[in-house]
Amino acid sequence: MTAKSAAAAARATVYGYPRQGRNRELKKAIEGYWKGRVTAEALRATAAELRRTNWQQLADAGIDEVPTGDFSYYDHVLDTTVMVGAVPDRHRAAVAANALDGYFAMARGTRDVAPLEMTKWFDTNYHYLVPELGPDTVFTADSGKQVAELTEALALGLAARPVLVGPVTYLLLAKPTPGVAAGFDPLTLLDRLLPVYAEVLADLRAAGAEWVQLDEPALVQDRTPAELNAAERAYRDLGALTDRPKLLTASYFDRLGNALPVLAKAPVEGLAVDFTEAAAANLDALAAVGGLPGKRLVAGVVNGRNIWVDDLEKSLATLATLLGLADRVDVSASCSLLHVPLDTGAERDIEPQILRWLAFARQKTTEIVTLAKGLAQGTDTIAAELAANRADLASRASSPITRDPVVRSRAAAVTEADGRRSQSYAERAAAQRAHLGLPLLPTTTIGSFPQTGEVRTARAGLRAGRIDTAGYEERIKAEIQEVINFQEKAGLDVLVHGEPERNDMVQYFAEQLTGYLATQHGWVQSYGTRYVRPPILAGDISRPEPMTVRWTEYARSLTDRPVKGMLTGPVTMLAWSFVRDDQPLGDTARQVALALRDEVADLEAAGTSVIQVDEPALRETLPLRAADHAAYLAWATEAFRLSTSGVRPDTQIHTHMCYAEFGDIVQAIDDLDADVISLEAARSHMQVARELAAHGYPREAGPGVYDIHSPRVPSAAEAAALLRTGLAAIPAERLWVNPDCGLKTRGWAETRAALENLVAAARTVRGEL
């Protein structure tokens, strides 16, 4: 190979594209189908039309090889479960009766049958359905969907490459079937699974696939030698097949580390590597193994999961380094474009100059094509694009939005002491006890109360101009009044205002902070038909005025009991937004923390004695590789403390996290130095209480006694039993009584009953002390 021939062959490709369509047609069609308003035929036609439009868009932009099979009615991991015939027993009858309905039953459950569990796709905000596998799992190949979609694309005259979840990642993402003996490792099924992949590959080849992509993102996580061995075996066996297309194994989201030599040496024809998240590490590792002689390297140089315009010259430099390391170097995004919105062209409210800093899926496609052209034909053939790109990057770098000197000098002046409370926890606890006068086992909630139809209608009405601000605020006040009245009557000890004014716990603050951008159409799939519009942390963050004080004050005016102020913490503000790529995450977190610190101070000055700063995303933002955890947790916990530590000793700081597993971050939870933490615990029978106790966690904690993910109302006896379990780990002086999370998604009837039972349980158990 020569660098010159590798360059001349450069082509543009992507691994996947947003599924929903310009006007979220897919969401509407699927939800219509669920409600019986759209027929299966109409749904299929909508889906086929969306696929065609997407491919055509990609081809028109100059993408040489389009992906197929990345489309999904719900989730591509669930599609893989169907492809390998791993339908759980409880869903078999439904799938046999009607494949489409059975598919949705696996995704969403039915009245009688539970769905598959859902969890986050690596460190993105996309959720996949977790395969359930056991020693008795029998795999059977069903290549129907993959073959059909490939056939559609080929019929359009396009070069197409099916994209599949690879067998190793599929098994590593699976969990043992419920009820299977603990310790079962799905990876032991590899030898059973590979023949099924072989069959699918043969079918795809017969259908005309030259290449097939097998996605193995699980190999960018820390893997044991046994797991790496499995990967080696998988690709040795698949590579040895005679009746197969060329294979491209794809990795993304981080560095391949020890898995890189395994994949580089595997007898497959290509490797796709992420050169954004961990460019330097992957470059070094690739060079260390002597490159990929005789192979195709797909270089993910354009960030596939963030929304900033690419630095084309930087990407070209990376690509130039890669030439000579492979037979052919193709250009792509780092991962599927599923994780970014479709098109900046749909945005009307963002200033045109700022919009030029952003690249959504369509714009990224163009960047990829430009880079491939520059690589293949020389950079002078893309001189105009490079000049425009340079101007956009310069405009962003020099904008006062990007750099606010006041914010910067304040952040630079932060000292270690700013992130420390003025007194130890023991002293604070005594001061808070005296100040708040709460009973043992105090009862509270996590913040939100049911978001009624009236509130949603009012919010939509305000946006559409049907009602004015005054009318909207009357509605919000009425909601707060109802929430406060109910809590007083129910006998809760620390009240909340119920968050009726918040559409979303991140967006609400993003809309009020300078430096954040909101999109009108920047929808990204979270799971199934649920799409979110993450705000964009675009510039330096400041708080022009108080964000929550008015509503908290209004709530406080209605009651004599303490009302908790309610804020979203810096880590969660970052985790559920698109983040800046021009400074370390920790710097952005610190700016957000300082803005929150001012809000905390204003709440306190207005008389709020209990302030909760939610960090549900603390654990989910953990980097994929353990070696990166400590650095992350250092800035994350520092940002939290910075936002909360300016208060008086007798002001009580709460935090809240949900997710059943906390064992690996107990030290970080401790490092937050919050006075009280509420955690999801009901389903795990207070597991977290035991974990906190084992760690010697010294502060107060409220492991949830009400599972708010279920419409079920726990009885007082059930809640009391959980409390007694909690008391076995946490002494009564430090145990709080609360639900697992906010009540926003619940109805009023069940919320009323559940909270009344919760208070009754607290009273019963107090009586036993």
Q: Is residue 447 annotated as involved in ligand binding? A: yes
Is 497 in the active site?
no
Distance CA 666, CA 671 (A): 9
Min dist. Cβ of residue 622 to ligand GLN (A):
17
Say if CB 654 and CB 610 are below 8 A apart.
Answer: yes
In the block, which residue shows the tokens 């964009």?
Answer: 536
CA dist 335 → 167, 217, 299, 669, 767 (Å): 18, 9, 10, 32, 57
Given the rule CB under 6 A, which of 432-440, 587-595, 717-725, 739-747 is the region that contacts ligand GLN?
Answer: 739-747
Q: Which is nearer to ligand GLN, 556 or 744 (CB)?
A: 744
Q: Is residue 26 annotated as involved in ligand binding? A: yes
Q: Which of residues 163-182 bind ligand GLN (CB under 6 A)?
A: none
Give me the residue whose beta carbon is nearest to ligand GLN.
742
Min dist. Cβ of residue 564 to Zn ion (A):
14
Select from ligand GLN, Zn ion, none the partner in contact with residue 190, using the beta carbon and a kind-dependent cut-off of 5 to 8 Å. none
Q: Is residue 4 annotated as involved in ligand binding? A: no
Contact between 369 and ligand GLN per CB under 6 A: no
Q: Which is nearer to ligand GLN, 29 or 566 (CB)?
A: 566
Given the rule CB under 5 A, which of 228-236, 302-310, 656-664, 684-692 is the region that contacts Zn ion?
Answer: 656-664
Nearest to 543 by CA among 612, 602, 618: 602
Q: Which of residues 614-643 bind Zn ion (CB under 5 A)?
A: 616
Q: Which is nearer to ligand GLN, 404 or 614 (CB)?
A: 614
Q: Which is nearer to ligand GLN, 521 or 654 (CB)?
A: 654
Structure tokens at 176: 């043992």
Given the rule CB under 5 A, which of 467-475, 530-538, 651-659, 669-677 is the region that contacts Zn ion?
Answer: 651-659
Q: Which of residues 524-583 bind ligand GLN (CB under 6 A)?
A: 566
Q: Which is nearer to ligand GLN, 389 or 448 (CB)?
A: 448
Q: Is residue 658 annotated as involved in ligand binding? A: yes
Given the rule CB under 5 A, which of 553-561, 623-631, 650-658, 661-669 is the region that contacts Zn ion?
Answer: 650-658
Given the rule CB under 6 A, which of 30-38, 315-323, 592-600, 741-749 is the region that contacts ligand GLN?
Answer: 741-749
Q: Which of residues 481-520 bind ligand GLN (CB under 6 A)?
A: 499, 505
Min dist. Cβ of residue 744 to ligand GLN (A):
5
Select from Zn ion, ligand GLN, none the partner in contact with residue 450, using the beta carbon and a kind-dependent cut-off of 5 to 8 Å. none
Q: Which is nearer to ligand GLN, 442 or 742 (CB)?
A: 742
**What backbone torsions phi and psi does residue 494 show, to the nearest 5 degrees?**
-110, 115
Contact between 658 and Zn ion per CB under 5 A: yes
Nearest to 161 by CA among 16, 342, 371: 16
CA dist 475 → 23, 447, 452, 673 (Å): 30, 18, 11, 37
Min dist. Cβ of residue 656 to Zn ion (A):
6
Say if CB 67 and CB 15 are below 8 A apart.
Answer: yes
Distance CA 7, CA 10 (A): 5
Distance CA 48, CA 64 (A): 21
Min dist. Cβ of residue 673 to Zn ion (A):
20
Distance CA 276, CA 273 (A): 9
Distance CA 436, CA 651 (A): 9
Q: Is residue 564 annotated as involved in ligand binding? A: no
Distance CA 707, CA 686 (A): 11
Among 269, 614, 638, 650, binds ligand GLN (CB under 6 A): 614
Contact between 656 and ligand GLN per CB under 6 A: yes
Distance CA 687, CA 680 (A): 10
Q: Which is nearer to ligand GLN, 500 or 714 (CB)?
A: 500
Q: Which is nearer to ligand GLN, 19 or 654 (CB)?
A: 654
Given the rule CB under 6 A, which of 61-69, 220-228, 415-423, 441-449 is the region that contacts ligand GLN?
Answer: 441-449
Q: Which is nearer to ligand GLN, 19 or 744 (CB)?
A: 744
# binding residues, ligand GLN (CB under 6 A): 13
Q: Is residue 356 annotated as involved in ligand binding? A: no
Distance CA 232, CA 97 (A): 39
Contact between 703 and Zn ion per CB under 5 A: no
Q: How far out from the chain centre does Cα 310 lie?
A: 22
Instruction: Please write down the long-range contacts of 415-422, taking CB distance under 8 Å and 24 or more positions apart.
Output: 418/642, 418/645, 418/646, 419/638, 419/641, 419/642, 419/645, 420/641, 420/645, 420/673, 421/645, 421/647, 421/649, 421/673, 422/648, 422/649
Q: Is residue 656 annotated as involved in ligand binding? A: yes
Say if CB 105 and CB 82 are below 8 A apart.
Answer: no
Q: Is residue 335 annotated as involved in ligand binding? A: no
In the block, which residue shows the tokens 């009726």?
Answer: 500
Contact between 513 and Zn ion per CB under 5 A: no
Among 450, 534, 616, 702, binds ligand GLN (CB under 6 A): 616
CA dist 517 → 535, 537, 539, 600, 722 (Å): 6, 6, 9, 23, 43
Contact between 496 and Zn ion per CB under 5 A: no
Min dist. Cβ of residue 447 to ligand GLN (A):
3
SS3 72: coil
Q: Which is nearer to ligand GLN, 392 or 479 (CB)?
A: 479
Nearest to 684 by CA among 653, 701, 663, 654: 663
Given the rule CB under 6 A, which of 62-70, 551-559, 582-590, 737-745 is the region that contacts ligand GLN?
Answer: 737-745
Distance CA 361, CA 505 (A): 26
β-pairing verdict for 676-679 and 652-657: parallel
Q: Is residue 24 annotated as involved in ligand binding? A: yes
Nearest to 640 by CA among 492, 441, 421: 421
Say if CB 532 and CB 524 are below 8 A apart.
Answer: yes
Which of these is catalytic: 127, 435, 654, 709?
A: 709
Q: Is residue 741 annotated as involved in ligand binding? A: yes
In the block, which residue shows the tokens 């479960």?
Answer: 81
Select from ligand GLN, Zn ion, none the partner in contact with residue 305, using the beta carbon and a kind-dependent cut-off of 5 to 8 Å. none
Distance CA 369, CA 315 (A): 12
Q: Which is nearer to ligand GLN, 169 or 448 (CB)?
A: 448
HEC assignment per residue over 533-563:
CCCEEEEEEECCCCCCHHHHHHHHHCCCCCE
Q: Which of residues 658-687 bind ligand GLN (CB under 6 A)?
A: 658
Q: Is residue 416 annotated as involved in ligand binding? A: no
Given the rule CB under 6 A, which of 306-314, 393-401, 429-437, 736-744 is the region that contacts ligand GLN?
Answer: 736-744
Select from ligand GLN, Zn ion, none the partner in contact with residue 744, using the beta carbon and a kind-dependent cut-off of 5 to 8 Å. ligand GLN
CA dist 201 → 75, 83, 194, 205, 248 (Å): 21, 11, 10, 6, 12
Among 259, 741, 754, 755, binds Zn ion (CB under 5 A): 741
Contact between 446 and ligand GLN per CB under 6 A: yes
148: Cβ contacts below 8 Å, ≥ 6 apart: none
**What backbone torsions phi and psi does residue 76 show, to the nearest 5 degrees?**
-75, -20
Distance CA 338, CA 364 (A): 12
# binding residues, Zn ion (CB under 5 A): 3
Which spans of this chain sit near Zn ion (rule: CB under 5 A)? 616, 658, 741
Annotated binding site for L-homocysteine: 446-448, 499, 614
Which spans of this chain sit near ligand GLN (rule: CB under 6 A)? 446-448, 499, 505, 566, 614, 616, 656, 658, 741-742, 744
Annotated binding site for 5-methyltetrahydropteroyltri-L-glutamate: 24-27, 120, 576, 620
Point out the residues that are catalytic: 709
Annotated binding site for Zn(2+): 656, 658, 680, 741
